Amino acid sequence: MKIVILFLLSFLLLHAQERLTVVKDTSGLSDDAIREKAQEADKKVKKTLDIQDVIEATDSNGKVDLAKLEAKWEKLSPTPKKYDWVQTKSGEWFKGNIKALYDDRLEFDSKEIGLYTFKLADVAQIKSYHLMRVNIENLASIKGVLRLKDDKLTIIQGDTKYNFAKKQIVSFARDAETERNLWSGKASVGLDMRRGNSQQQDFTANLKLQRRSSESHLALSYLGRVSSKDKVEISNDHRFNEKYDVFLSRNFFWTPLFSELYIDKFKNIDAQITAGVGVGYTLFDTSKARWSFSGGPAFVYTRHTTVDVATKKTAFSPALEVSTQYKRKINAMTKLSYDYKLTYTTREAGVYKHHMVLVLENSLLSWLDFDISGIWDYVKSPTADKDGAIPLQNDFQMIMGLGVAF
Protein backbone atom coordinates (compact mmCIF):
# COMPACT_ATOMS: atom_id res chain seq x y z
CA MET A 1 0.00 0.00 0.00
CA LYS A 2 2.83 2.43 0.83
CA ILE A 3 4.42 1.79 -2.56
CA VAL A 4 1.10 2.47 -4.31
CA ILE A 5 0.72 5.76 -2.42
CA LEU A 6 4.29 6.79 -3.29
CA PHE A 7 3.65 5.96 -6.94
CA LEU A 8 0.49 8.09 -7.01
CA LEU A 9 2.25 11.01 -5.32
CA SER A 10 5.12 10.81 -7.81
CA PHE A 11 2.66 10.65 -10.72
CA LEU A 12 0.71 13.70 -9.51
CA LEU A 13 3.88 15.65 -8.84
CA LEU A 14 5.36 14.94 -12.25
CA HIS A 15 2.21 15.87 -14.13
CA ALA A 16 1.74 19.02 -12.07
CA GLN A 17 4.96 20.46 -13.49
CA GLU A 18 4.63 22.72 -16.53
CA ARG A 19 6.91 22.06 -19.45
CA LEU A 20 9.30 24.81 -20.47
CA THR A 21 8.25 27.07 -23.32
CA VAL A 22 10.39 26.51 -26.40
CA VAL A 23 11.30 29.89 -27.92
CA LYS A 24 11.62 29.35 -31.66
CA ASP A 25 13.87 31.37 -33.91
CA THR A 26 11.59 33.40 -36.20
CA SER A 27 14.38 35.39 -37.89
CA GLY A 28 14.46 33.07 -40.89
CA LEU A 29 18.27 33.33 -40.93
CA SER A 30 20.66 30.45 -41.45
CA ASP A 31 23.02 29.39 -38.65
CA ASP A 32 25.92 31.17 -40.37
CA ALA A 33 23.88 34.35 -40.69
CA ILE A 34 23.05 34.24 -36.99
CA ARG A 35 26.76 33.87 -36.20
CA GLU A 36 27.54 36.93 -38.34
CA LYS A 37 24.94 38.93 -36.40
CA ALA A 38 26.61 37.85 -33.16
CA GLN A 39 30.04 38.90 -34.46
CA GLU A 40 28.67 42.30 -35.42
CA ALA A 41 27.35 42.67 -31.89
CA ASP A 42 30.80 41.74 -30.53
CA LYS A 43 32.41 44.58 -32.50
CA LYS A 44 30.10 47.11 -30.86
CA VAL A 45 31.31 46.13 -27.40
CA LYS A 46 33.76 48.65 -25.95
CA LYS A 47 37.34 47.44 -26.36
CA THR A 48 39.65 47.96 -23.40
CA LEU A 49 43.40 48.16 -23.94
CA ASP A 50 45.96 49.49 -21.49
CA ILE A 51 48.46 52.27 -22.28
CA GLN A 52 51.27 49.78 -22.89
CA ASP A 53 49.31 48.27 -25.78
CA VAL A 54 48.92 51.72 -27.35
CA ILE A 55 52.65 52.46 -26.94
CA GLU A 56 53.61 49.17 -28.61
CA ALA A 57 51.30 49.97 -31.54
CA THR A 58 52.82 53.45 -32.07
CA ASP A 59 55.61 53.89 -34.63
CA SER A 60 58.63 56.23 -34.45
CA ASN A 61 56.63 59.07 -36.02
CA GLY A 62 54.01 58.87 -33.29
CA LYS A 63 51.37 57.28 -35.54
CA VAL A 64 49.18 54.58 -34.02
CA ASP A 65 48.86 51.43 -36.11
CA LEU A 66 45.17 50.54 -35.76
CA ALA A 67 45.73 47.09 -37.28
CA LYS A 68 48.15 46.24 -34.46
CA LEU A 69 45.64 47.41 -31.87
CA GLU A 70 42.96 45.31 -33.51
CA ALA A 71 45.26 42.28 -33.39
CA LYS A 72 45.93 42.87 -29.68
CA TRP A 73 42.21 43.16 -29.02
CA GLU A 74 41.64 39.94 -30.93
CA LYS A 75 43.96 38.20 -28.50
CA LEU A 76 42.18 39.72 -25.52
CA SER A 77 38.72 38.88 -26.82
CA PRO A 78 38.83 36.54 -29.84
CA THR A 79 36.07 36.35 -32.45
CA PRO A 80 34.55 32.84 -32.62
CA LYS A 81 35.43 31.30 -35.99
CA LYS A 82 34.77 27.54 -36.22
CA TYR A 83 35.40 27.17 -32.48
CA ASP A 84 33.85 28.19 -29.18
CA TRP A 85 35.89 30.28 -26.73
CA VAL A 86 35.96 30.21 -22.93
CA GLN A 87 37.81 32.65 -20.68
CA THR A 88 38.55 31.86 -17.06
CA LYS A 89 38.66 34.50 -14.31
CA SER A 90 42.47 34.29 -14.41
CA GLY A 91 42.27 35.85 -17.90
CA GLU A 92 43.22 32.78 -19.96
CA TRP A 93 41.29 31.99 -23.16
CA PHE A 94 40.60 28.43 -24.33
CA LYS A 95 39.60 27.43 -27.87
CA GLY A 96 37.56 24.31 -28.57
CA ASN A 97 34.01 22.96 -28.57
CA ILE A 98 31.43 23.30 -25.84
CA LYS A 99 29.75 19.98 -25.11
CA ALA A 100 27.32 20.91 -22.35
CA LEU A 101 26.76 22.74 -19.09
CA TYR A 102 24.98 20.88 -16.30
CA ASP A 103 25.10 21.27 -12.51
CA ASP A 104 27.27 24.39 -12.98
CA ARG A 105 29.93 22.28 -14.72
CA LEU A 106 30.98 23.23 -18.25
CA GLU A 107 32.28 20.33 -20.37
CA PHE A 108 34.73 21.63 -22.95
CA ASP A 109 36.70 19.71 -25.59
CA SER A 110 39.97 21.20 -26.80
CA LYS A 111 42.91 19.86 -28.80
CA GLU A 112 45.29 21.39 -26.24
CA ILE A 113 43.70 20.32 -22.95
CA GLY A 114 41.46 17.44 -24.11
CA LEU A 115 38.04 16.92 -22.52
CA TYR A 116 37.98 19.27 -19.54
CA THR A 117 35.33 20.39 -17.05
CA PHE A 118 35.29 24.02 -15.91
CA LYS A 119 33.37 25.19 -12.87
CA LEU A 120 30.94 27.85 -14.03
CA ALA A 121 31.99 29.99 -11.07
CA ASP A 122 35.53 30.11 -12.55
CA VAL A 123 34.35 31.21 -16.02
CA ALA A 124 34.50 34.92 -16.86
CA GLN A 125 33.35 34.80 -20.49
CA ILE A 126 31.89 32.38 -23.02
CA LYS A 127 31.69 33.10 -26.74
CA SER A 128 30.03 30.29 -28.65
CA TYR A 129 30.50 29.75 -32.37
CA HIS A 130 27.99 26.91 -32.39
CA LEU A 131 24.34 27.52 -31.69
CA MET A 132 23.31 26.42 -28.22
CA ARG A 133 20.02 25.26 -26.72
CA VAL A 134 19.79 27.06 -23.36
CA ASN A 135 17.44 26.01 -20.55
CA ILE A 136 16.43 29.05 -18.46
CA GLU A 137 15.10 28.15 -15.02
CA ASN A 138 11.28 27.94 -14.85
CA LEU A 139 10.99 29.98 -18.05
CA ALA A 140 12.04 28.74 -21.47
CA SER A 141 14.34 26.74 -23.71
CA ILE A 142 16.00 29.08 -26.23
CA LYS A 143 18.23 28.37 -29.20
CA GLY A 144 20.88 30.85 -30.31
CA VAL A 145 24.49 32.01 -30.22
CA LEU A 146 25.59 32.38 -26.62
CA ARG A 147 27.50 35.23 -25.01
CA LEU A 148 28.29 35.15 -21.31
CA LYS A 149 30.24 37.88 -19.55
CA ASP A 150 30.53 38.07 -15.77
CA ASP A 151 26.94 37.68 -14.51
CA LYS A 152 25.14 38.53 -17.74
CA LEU A 153 23.95 36.01 -20.34
CA THR A 154 22.90 37.01 -23.86
CA ILE A 155 21.32 34.65 -26.40
CA ILE A 156 21.34 35.99 -29.95
CA GLN A 157 18.74 34.99 -32.57
CA GLY A 158 19.44 37.23 -35.56
CA ASP A 159 18.43 40.79 -34.58
CA THR A 160 16.68 39.51 -31.43
CA LYS A 161 18.59 39.26 -28.17
CA TYR A 162 17.47 37.65 -24.93
CA ASN A 163 19.22 38.79 -21.75
CA PHE A 164 19.26 36.83 -18.49
CA ALA A 165 21.24 36.65 -15.29
CA LYS A 166 23.94 33.98 -15.09
CA LYS A 167 22.22 32.41 -12.07
CA GLN A 168 19.11 31.67 -14.20
CA ILE A 169 20.97 29.11 -16.33
CA VAL A 170 19.92 25.54 -15.59
CA SER A 171 21.84 23.94 -18.45
CA PHE A 172 22.81 24.34 -22.07
CA ALA A 173 24.18 22.13 -24.81
CA ARG A 174 25.13 22.47 -28.42
CA ASP A 175 22.13 22.41 -30.74
CA ALA A 176 23.81 19.42 -32.28
CA GLU A 177 24.38 19.11 -35.98
CA THR A 178 25.11 15.45 -35.27
CA GLU A 179 23.97 13.25 -32.40
CA ARG A 180 27.61 12.47 -31.57
CA ASN A 181 28.13 15.97 -30.15
CA LEU A 182 25.73 15.22 -27.30
CA TRP A 183 27.57 12.12 -26.09
CA SER A 184 30.61 11.64 -23.86
CA GLY A 185 31.93 8.79 -21.78
CA LYS A 186 34.69 6.96 -19.97
CA ALA A 187 35.96 3.38 -20.19
CA SER A 188 38.03 1.75 -17.43
CA VAL A 189 39.60 -1.72 -17.47
CA GLY A 190 41.54 -3.77 -14.97
CA LEU A 191 43.53 -6.95 -15.60
CA ASP A 192 45.34 -9.09 -13.05
CA MET A 193 47.16 -12.29 -14.16
CA ARG A 194 49.11 -14.56 -11.81
CA ARG A 195 51.35 -17.55 -12.56
CA GLY A 196 53.24 -19.90 -10.27
CA ASN A 197 51.84 -22.41 -7.78
CA SER A 198 48.40 -21.35 -8.99
CA GLN A 199 47.07 -19.63 -12.08
CA GLN A 200 44.51 -16.85 -11.70
CA GLN A 201 43.09 -14.25 -14.04
CA ASP A 202 40.84 -11.34 -13.03
CA PHE A 203 39.28 -9.05 -15.63
CA THR A 204 37.07 -6.08 -14.79
CA ALA A 205 35.45 -3.47 -17.01
CA ASN A 206 33.57 -0.27 -16.21
CA LEU A 207 31.95 1.72 -19.02
CA LYS A 208 30.00 4.97 -18.60
CA LEU A 209 28.16 6.83 -21.35
CA GLN A 210 26.10 9.97 -21.03
CA ARG A 211 24.01 12.09 -23.33
CA ARG A 212 23.50 15.67 -22.19
CA SER A 213 21.09 18.12 -23.75
CA SER A 214 19.81 21.40 -22.32
CA GLU A 215 16.68 19.69 -20.99
CA SER A 216 17.70 16.14 -20.07
CA HIS A 217 20.48 13.77 -19.08
CA LEU A 218 20.72 10.10 -20.05
CA ALA A 219 23.29 7.99 -18.19
CA LEU A 220 24.23 4.44 -19.24
CA SER A 221 26.75 2.27 -17.42
CA TYR A 222 28.19 -1.24 -17.34
CA LEU A 223 30.19 -2.89 -14.56
CA GLY A 224 31.45 -6.44 -15.05
CA ARG A 225 33.87 -8.96 -13.61
CA VAL A 226 35.11 -12.37 -14.80
CA SER A 227 37.67 -14.36 -12.77
CA SER A 228 39.14 -17.83 -12.93
CA LYS A 229 41.61 -19.82 -10.81
CA ASP A 230 43.45 -22.87 -12.10
CA LYS A 231 41.17 -22.75 -15.14
CA VAL A 232 38.03 -22.89 -12.95
CA GLU A 233 35.68 -19.90 -13.10
CA ILE A 234 35.22 -18.30 -9.65
CA SER A 235 33.25 -15.13 -10.52
CA ASN A 236 31.07 -13.93 -13.36
CA ASP A 237 28.81 -10.94 -12.76
CA HIS A 238 27.50 -8.10 -14.92
CA ARG A 239 25.46 -4.99 -14.11
CA PHE A 240 23.86 -2.69 -16.70
CA ASN A 241 22.26 0.56 -15.50
CA GLU A 242 20.19 3.26 -17.20
CA LYS A 243 18.85 6.54 -15.77
CA TYR A 244 17.05 9.27 -17.68
CA ASP A 245 16.59 12.63 -15.90
CA VAL A 246 14.57 15.64 -17.08
CA PHE A 247 15.49 19.02 -15.59
CA LEU A 248 12.65 21.01 -14.05
CA SER A 249 14.78 23.59 -12.25
CA ARG A 250 18.37 24.07 -11.16
CA ASN A 251 17.93 21.64 -8.24
CA PHE A 252 14.84 19.59 -9.04
CA PHE A 253 14.53 16.84 -11.67
CA TRP A 254 12.31 13.88 -12.38
CA THR A 255 13.19 10.48 -13.78
CA PRO A 256 10.71 8.99 -16.30
CA LEU A 257 12.69 5.75 -16.21
CA PHE A 258 15.53 4.16 -14.28
CA SER A 259 16.43 0.53 -14.86
CA GLU A 260 18.99 -2.15 -14.15
CA LEU A 261 19.87 -5.61 -15.48
CA TYR A 262 21.95 -7.66 -13.05
CA ILE A 263 23.46 -11.11 -13.74
CA ASP A 264 25.51 -13.14 -11.23
CA LYS A 265 25.40 -16.91 -11.47
CA PHE A 266 27.48 -17.29 -8.28
CA LYS A 267 24.67 -15.53 -6.42
CA ASN A 268 22.11 -17.77 -8.13
CA ILE A 269 20.81 -14.86 -10.23
CA ASP A 270 20.33 -15.77 -13.87
CA ALA A 271 18.77 -12.34 -14.53
CA GLN A 272 17.30 -9.61 -12.34
CA ILE A 273 15.56 -6.61 -13.89
CA THR A 274 14.65 -3.50 -11.90
CA ALA A 275 12.69 -0.61 -13.44
CA GLY A 276 10.84 2.38 -12.04
CA VAL A 277 10.14 6.13 -12.05
CA GLY A 278 11.21 8.76 -9.56
CA VAL A 279 12.05 12.30 -8.57
CA GLY A 280 15.33 13.85 -7.43
CA TYR A 281 16.81 16.88 -5.74
CA THR A 282 20.32 18.34 -5.63
CA LEU A 283 21.00 19.15 -1.98
CA PHE A 284 24.03 21.33 -2.70
CA ASP A 285 26.31 22.03 -5.61
CA THR A 286 29.48 24.04 -4.98
CA SER A 287 32.77 24.43 -6.82
CA LYS A 288 34.22 21.53 -4.80
CA ALA A 289 31.34 19.18 -4.05
CA ARG A 290 27.89 18.05 -5.20
CA TRP A 291 25.32 15.89 -3.39
CA SER A 292 21.99 14.70 -4.82
CA PHE A 293 19.21 12.28 -3.88
CA SER A 294 16.61 10.51 -6.01
CA GLY A 295 14.21 7.61 -5.84
CA GLY A 296 10.77 6.27 -6.49
CA PRO A 297 8.54 3.19 -6.90
CA ALA A 298 9.73 0.28 -9.04
CA PHE A 299 9.31 -3.41 -9.77
CA VAL A 300 11.86 -6.23 -9.64
CA TYR A 301 11.74 -9.31 -11.87
CA THR A 302 14.08 -12.09 -10.74
CA ARG A 303 14.95 -15.37 -12.47
CA HIS A 304 17.17 -17.68 -10.44
CA THR A 305 19.69 -20.07 -11.98
CA THR A 306 18.51 -23.08 -9.96
CA VAL A 307 16.09 -23.54 -7.05
CA ASP A 308 14.71 -26.39 -4.94
CA VAL A 309 11.31 -27.94 -5.70
CA ALA A 310 9.54 -25.73 -3.11
CA THR A 311 10.76 -22.43 -4.53
CA LYS A 312 9.60 -20.61 -7.65
CA LYS A 313 12.33 -20.02 -10.21
CA THR A 314 10.95 -16.59 -11.16
CA ALA A 315 9.45 -13.79 -9.06
CA PHE A 316 7.82 -10.46 -9.88
CA SER A 317 7.91 -8.02 -6.94
CA PRO A 318 6.99 -4.39 -6.17
CA ALA A 319 9.86 -2.30 -4.81
CA LEU A 320 10.97 1.10 -3.56
CA GLU A 321 14.38 2.36 -4.65
CA VAL A 322 16.34 5.33 -3.29
CA SER A 323 19.80 6.46 -4.30
CA THR A 324 22.33 9.15 -3.57
CA GLN A 325 25.36 10.47 -5.44
CA TYR A 326 28.18 12.47 -3.91
CA LYS A 327 31.15 13.93 -5.78
CA ARG A 328 34.03 15.92 -4.37
CA LYS A 329 37.22 17.40 -5.81
CA ILE A 330 40.00 16.62 -3.35
CA ASN A 331 42.74 18.49 -5.24
CA ALA A 332 43.70 19.39 -8.80
CA MET A 333 44.62 15.77 -9.58
CA THR A 334 42.17 13.70 -7.53
CA LYS A 335 38.39 13.37 -7.44
CA LEU A 336 36.18 11.24 -5.24
CA SER A 337 32.76 9.91 -6.21
CA TYR A 338 30.31 7.89 -4.10
CA ASP A 339 27.20 6.15 -5.45
CA TYR A 340 24.76 4.30 -3.22
CA LYS A 341 21.55 2.57 -4.27
CA LEU A 342 19.11 0.92 -1.86
CA THR A 343 16.16 -1.28 -2.88
CA TYR A 344 13.39 -2.54 -0.62
CA THR A 345 11.33 -5.38 -2.08
CA THR A 346 9.73 -8.74 -1.22
CA ARG A 347 11.21 -11.94 0.21
CA GLU A 348 11.35 -13.56 -3.24
CA ALA A 349 13.67 -10.81 -4.49
CA GLY A 350 15.89 -10.65 -1.39
CA VAL A 351 13.88 -8.29 0.95
CA TYR A 352 16.58 -5.62 0.92
CA LYS A 353 19.65 -5.05 -1.20
CA HIS A 354 22.15 -2.31 -1.84
CA HIS A 355 24.90 -1.49 -4.32
CA MET A 356 27.68 0.91 -3.28
CA VAL A 357 30.58 2.21 -5.39
CA LEU A 358 33.39 4.45 -4.09
CA VAL A 359 35.90 5.70 -6.68
CA LEU A 360 39.11 7.73 -6.47
CA GLU A 361 39.98 9.18 -9.89
CA ASN A 362 43.62 10.18 -10.21
CA SER A 363 44.37 12.23 -13.30
CA LEU A 364 47.47 11.21 -15.27
CA LEU A 365 46.71 13.09 -18.50
CA SER A 366 43.77 15.21 -19.64
CA TRP A 367 42.18 12.05 -21.09
CA LEU A 368 43.70 9.32 -18.89
CA ASP A 369 42.97 8.46 -15.23
CA PHE A 370 44.20 5.87 -12.77
CA ASP A 371 41.07 4.73 -10.91
CA ILE A 372 40.78 2.91 -7.59
CA SER A 373 37.28 1.57 -6.95
CA GLY A 374 35.71 -0.11 -3.94
CA ILE A 375 32.39 -1.95 -4.47
CA TRP A 376 30.06 -3.42 -1.84
CA ASP A 377 26.97 -5.44 -2.76
CA TYR A 378 24.61 -6.77 -0.11
CA VAL A 379 21.45 -8.92 -0.22
CA LYS A 380 19.49 -9.52 2.98
CA SER A 381 17.97 -12.89 1.97
CA PRO A 382 19.78 -14.63 -0.92
CA THR A 383 17.90 -17.49 -2.58
CA ALA A 384 19.35 -20.99 -2.14
CA ASP A 385 20.11 -23.10 -5.21
CA LYS A 386 18.74 -26.60 -5.91
CA ASP A 387 21.35 -28.15 -3.59
CA GLY A 388 20.37 -25.88 -0.70
CA ALA A 389 23.55 -23.77 -0.87
CA ILE A 390 22.86 -20.15 0.13
CA PRO A 391 25.04 -17.41 -1.42
CA LEU A 392 26.80 -15.04 0.98
CA GLN A 393 25.02 -11.80 1.82
CA ASN A 394 28.08 -9.61 1.21
CA ASP A 395 30.26 -9.27 -1.86
CA PHE A 396 33.27 -6.93 -1.89
CA GLN A 397 35.50 -5.86 -4.79
CA MET A 398 38.60 -3.70 -5.08
CA ILE A 399 39.39 -2.61 -8.64
CA MET A 400 42.41 -0.72 -9.92
CA GLY A 401 42.65 0.21 -13.58
CA LEU A 402 43.15 2.84 -16.24
CA GLY A 403 40.26 4.99 -17.44
CA VAL A 404 40.06 6.73 -20.81
CA ALA A 405 37.67 9.68 -21.26
CA PHE A 406 36.13 10.36 -24.66
Residue that wins the pLDDT comparison between 302 and 73: 302
| Predicted confidence (pLDDT) at residue 237 exceeds the cutoff of 90 | yes
DSSP output for 12-27:
HHHHHSPPPEEE---S
Look at residue 205 and tell me if it is in a domain.
yes
Q: 190 and 142 share a domain? A: no
pLDDT given for residue 15 in this prediction: 47
Residue that wins the pLDDT comparison between 292 and 248: 292
Provide the domain count of the chain.
Answer: 2
Q: What is the mean pLDDT of residues 261-282?
A: 94
| Predicted confidence (pLDDT) at residue 247 exceeds the cutoff of 90 | no
Q: 236 and 266 share a domain? A: yes
Look at residue 79 and tell me if it is in a domain.
yes
Q: 273 and 326 share a domain? A: yes
Residue that wins the pLDDT comparison between 201 and 262: 262
Look at residue 9 and tell me if it is in a domain.
no
Q: What is the mean pLDDT of residues 6-33?
A: 60
Over residues 306-365, the pLDDT tens digits come to 988 788 889 899 999 999 999 998 987 899 999 999 999 988 888 889 999 999 999 998
Q: What is the mean pLDDT of residues 379-399?
A: 89
Domain that holds residue 211: 182-405
> 74: part of which helix (H) or strand (E)?
helix 66-76
Look at residue 10 and tell me if it is in a domain.
no
Q: 217 and 305 share a domain? A: yes
Q: 222 and 169 share a domain? A: no
Specify the pTM.
0.68
Q: 169 and 248 share a domain? A: no
Look at residue 359 and tell me if it is in a domain.
yes
Q: 257 and 362 share a domain? A: yes
Could you give the maximum distance between any two Cα atoms of the chain, in Å? Answer: 103
Domain-ending residue, one of 145, 177, 209: 177
What is the C-alpha to C-alpha distance for residues 63 and 71, in angstroms, rounded to an integer? 16
Secondary structure (3-state) at 71: helix
> 11: part of which helix (H) or strand (E)?
helix 2-16
Q: 220 and 304 share a domain? A: yes
Q: 216 and 67 share a domain? A: no
Instruction: Name beta bridge partners: 344.
Output: 320, 352
What is the C-alpha to C-alpha distance for residues 299 and 172, in angstroms, rounded to an integer? 33
